[in-house]
């Protein structure tokens, strides 16, 4: 299944996600193999998706792909997909020279992209900045929703169940960031009131046991480390949002100057009007 609507459009940032096999033994090469890539281009001023691309990928070692996988990315499904070499130029065009955004991408997705390009002897795409929503939310949002897995955050905000498909997960990541930013803006406005109410009604929302069992293979690869998140026990100050987004600022400043993030924050504030 392929959805191609990417064009070079300017200063968009790219939310992306990869799905892979899980290292299963020597016969699988003791490594991850890409089986799907998905990305959306997002206008940083309006937080609007302007283009998308997704493709299944046939790995060099087809036996490494599970014959049964609830996300639908099975051995049979990828057998007729193009090899990475056939889609590498498209993926390079999407990623190279843009700000990359994703959940836990510094630890997982970025290394997988580099490995895939190394496999075909081509230089990998290079970002102008990287915004990893896992450390960003660890610093600013904390464990109020439970752990910081994408599935848990999506459940907390009522965004539905994570599908563990690249394009769907990239879109879900954008929505999670929007919701987290709105909560932080509200709390920074009236911390004494909204913080106390949050503490009174706080509950840890995690994936159901059934969902966790069905998605164990996907979650085991991309789950954040157990010690990644810390729980805040003090209210946010009024200038907290600026500190929360500091890492994102640094990435965008180096790539494009201050304007994109400032407009990101202006858009977030407009949600409250």
Kindly state the average pLDDT of the residues 42-49: 94
Q: Return the domain boundaries, the chain.
A: 13-188
Alpha-carbon distance 215 to 211, whole Å? 6
For residue 19, the cross-strand partners are: 36
Say which residue the tokens 């799905």 belong to. 19
Q: Which residues neighbour 216 within 8 Å (Cβ) at sequence distance 6 or greater?
A: none
Contact indicator for 78, 56 with CB cutoff of 8 Å: yes
Q: Which of 103, 164, 179, 231 is catalytic?
A: 164
pLDDT of 264: 46
Banded pLDDT at 259 (limits 50, 70, 90): very low
Alpha-carbon distance 70 to 3, whole Å? 21
- 123-136 pLDDT per residue, tens: 999 999 999 999 99
Q: Let me know if domain 13-188 sits in CATH 3.30.420.10.
A: yes
- 12-30 pLDDT per residue, tens: 999 999 999 987 655 545 7
Alpha-carbon distance 50 to 40, whole Å? 7
Alpha-carbon distance 180 to 157, whole Å? 9
Contact indicator for 255, 99 with CB cutoff of 8 Å: yes
* Selection from 32, 34, 37 nearest residue 2 by Cα: 37
- 103-113 pLDDT per residue, tens: 999 999 999 99
Beta strands in 111-196 (DSSP E): 129-132
Is 164 in the active site? Answer: yes
Kindly state the average pLDDT of the residues 94-120: 97
């Amino acid at each position: 299944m392929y959805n191609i609507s990417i064009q070079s459009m300017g200063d968009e940032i790219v939310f992306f996600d990869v799905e892979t096999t899980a290292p299963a033994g020597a016969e699988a090469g003791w490594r991850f193999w890409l089986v799907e890539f998905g990305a959306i281009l997002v206008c940083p001023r309006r937080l609007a998706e302007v283009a998308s691309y997704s493709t299944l990928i046939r790995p060099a070692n087809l036996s490494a792909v599970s014959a049964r996988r609830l996300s639908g990315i099975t051995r049979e499904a990828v057998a007729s997909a193009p090899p990475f070499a056939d889609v590498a130029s498209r993926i390079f065009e999407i990623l190279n020279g843009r700000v990359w955004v994703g959940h836990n991408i510094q630890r997982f997705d970025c290394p997988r992209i580099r490995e895939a390009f190394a496999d075909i002897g081509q230089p990998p795409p290079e970002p102008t900045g990287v915004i990893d929503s896992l450390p960003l939310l660890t610093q600013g949002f904390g464990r109020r929703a439970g752990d910081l897995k994408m599935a848990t955050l999506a459940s907390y905000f009522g965004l539905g169940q994570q599908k563990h498909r690249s394009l769907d997960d990239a879109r879900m990541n954008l929505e999670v960031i929007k919701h987290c930013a709105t909560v932080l803006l509200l709390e920074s406005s009236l911390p004494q009131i909204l913080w106390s109410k949050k503490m009174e009604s706080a509950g840890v929302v995690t994936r159901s046991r059934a969902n966790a069992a069905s998605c164990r293979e996907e979650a085991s690869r991309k789950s954040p480390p157990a010690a990644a998140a810390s729980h805040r026990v003090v209210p946010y100050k009024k200038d907290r949002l600026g500190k929360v987004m500091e890492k994102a600022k640094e990435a965008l400043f180096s790539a494009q100057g201050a304007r994109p993030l400032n407009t990101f924050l202006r858009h977030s504030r407009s949600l409250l009007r």
